[in-house]
Structure 1
Amino acid sequence: MRKMPLGLLALAIGGFGIGLTEFVIMGQLPEVAADFQVTESVAGWLISGYALAVAVGAIGLTAAVTRLGRKQVLIGLMALFIAGNLTSALAGTYQVMMAGRVLAALSHGAFFGIGSVVAASLVEPARRAGAIAMMFTGLTAANVLGVPFGTFLGQQLGWRATFWAITVIGVAALIGVATLVPARASTGPSAGLRHELRAFTEPQVWFSLLMTILGFGGMFGAFTYIAYTLTAVGGFAAGTVPWLLVLFGAGLFVGNSLGGRGADRSIPRTLAVVLTGLTAVMAVFASTASSQVLTVIALFLMGAFGFATAPGLQMRIMKYAGQAPTLASGSNIAAFNVGNALGAWLGGVTITAGLGYASTLWAGAAMSFSALLVLAAATALTRRRPSTFDITRPDTAQQPEYAEPVPAGSVSPMSRG
């Protein structure tokens, strides 16, 4: 079994720190609200504001750095991430805390968008989705291990201790990117923003963005209200919810790994399987949420199928963006967050309508099924009208911008077999 490049480990550490920053505050809102003397709903804007800033940074910041070397950009993004978490750790007021959250969030989308392109450049074409999954492993590990530990640390030493710890992780990631990501990660034509925007003339790029919004948003919308579903419908004690969420996080970890392997074999087939599975799991979960045994199984499977979509969705948009993958990749990270917001809103609508907490699972299933329909339409279109930028087609592929440079006298991996 071939080893993954050490540069992927550095990217995964960065993803771990970013995942902690996004999620760990959810378990510490009461303490943060009390410290800054604001209501919990106002404190909740530290989560909402972060999500909005992720979407802005994923597109705006990525667009602003298209002419710069990717490794240097990743180093700069980790420096921004460190500054944001250091600001949060030192914040004396709610406003300063919000500024720290926004600073850290701006690096989030751009890091995963550009990092996906860099991760793909470090391996041969047949392993690119797996490389992207490796980077996203840091994000899933943050859910499985980091959030419970971070919450415990905050309870023992105060919530600021958690942000100090994340700052240290950021420093480790910055050093890792600087020393382990090879210089060739910055190679490729620096054609700038106009060149990157060409990717959006390809219909399949828009299909990919819509799939991400609907597919991932369906899972996240159901997850947003999962604590209420577990306690009010499933009858679980509130004290068991954190451990059940660890089980969900374990599902994310497994799904991310298997989804990456599957996407390296066939992106359309893998997305079709996991979106079908996700739709079915959430529908069954909604129907059996009062059964604790079935809920435990469904919770793990929902995480597994939900995050199994991530490597394939990210790889699909890069595939059809061809030689202009950077901004398209960042836009897909923004689409993940748009989907999160849409799914949470739709779930809230069903609850407000009096349909019960399990209705959020039905809403999520409907969104994921819609993503499956979009995939079917997109696949049918590719059969009738091949993509201009599809890098898997030899007449249009040449060498994509994120491909490994081919040494003189060697055979390009794109031309083998």
Structure 2
Amino acid sequence: MTNGIVIVGAGHAGVQAAASLREEGYDGPVILIGDEQELPYHKPPLSKTFIKDAAAKPQPLRGEAFYTGSSIDFRPGTRIDSIDARAGRLDVAGGSPLAFDRLILATGSRPRVLKLDGAELAGVVSLRSIADARLIRELSAKTEDVVILGGGFIGLEIAATLRAAARNVTVVEAVDRLLGRAVAPVIASHVRQRLEAIGVRILTETTVARLEGENGRVSAAIMSTGERLPAQMVIIGIGVVPNVELAQGAGLAIANGIRVDQHMQSSIAEILAIGDAASYRHWFTGGDVRLESVQNATDQARLAARTIGGHAEPFSAVPWFWSDIGDMKLQMVGLTQGGDHHVVLGDLADNKFSIYHYAGNRLLGIESVNRPADHMLGRKMLGAGFSPTPQMVATGPEGLKAAFAAFSQGEPARAAG
């Protein structure tokens, strides 16, 4: 009897992998292992709607009937201690060993630990799971002053949400701008301006020296400048680290994540890795990346299932991301590192604009604020391999759509005009 496929990690990547295996016709055993007791759920709402609504419940990725109806053996609250790759076996904490023919690691990532005096105080939290979101929601109901360490997407989403609930919110970022790894300076500046306009205080080029507490609970954050910020809750959002320990212990190659090839196979072919924990050579940029997004997780999961089915093409999905921060829907497509100039469409003052990033005449990616049509067209263009010139972009959405239509119809000469 076949041992089947075991998937470790029941987030977006793991659940999609299980679903895609069945969609691809795999009829052997599929075991999905999650370390939480919850039915797998959507994570993006946790920093927004969930923490502001006391009645909000987790949004399941799939209904319970999906797992039983698809013969997927979902095992919540299960932790894997180690992988014996040679024997094809997992050592399960408190349980019997589990054999596998193929293993998919969808182990995700975890919040980076803050090494700071006072970090152990009650009221100092990070957001990664539904349990974290419940705690933030509970604490915010009895909190006036919140300090958020880290000016990335998660920190700013929470800042906007809690400020809308009339909390006093201060964001502390160590570098000179917000969203330093994620978006262009003009987007970061715009986000800062909009947040400050609603009363979020933002401190850049500043760090926290220590946290103070009373009766075991956090009461203040002491800045490197000596300023004392009252805080009944401190939220840590200084990035994440990939969960590679199981893979590393099994002897898999590690390079800022579990190293995989263009078919999602690790250095041991029977073990695949997908999602936040996987690093790979990106087809578009030629550089090594590890992407933290729902889209990347689900696209890689689908490809992993096809790889196991024996008919996979190299990974070539166009990366895209999004974030809702207050009244700003940020949507990004492509990877813009290495860009040397850009074109702006729309008006920053209207809070509706897009930035088209170029390296020479090659379109690298588009960052949009409240212009979803630009984003959707950008996904189609990059996916089709169409790189409009900056002059085409400058003609506006209608001209750009016409140029792409001409390209799609196999008329590059007309499109170039």
TM-score normalized by the length of structure 1: 0.26
Taking CA–CA contacts closer than 8 Å with sequence separation of 6 or more, which of the two structures ends up with the larger relative contact order? 1
Rg (Cα) greater in structure: 2
Greater helix proportion = 1
TM-score normalized by the length of structure 2: 0.26
Greater strand proportion = 2
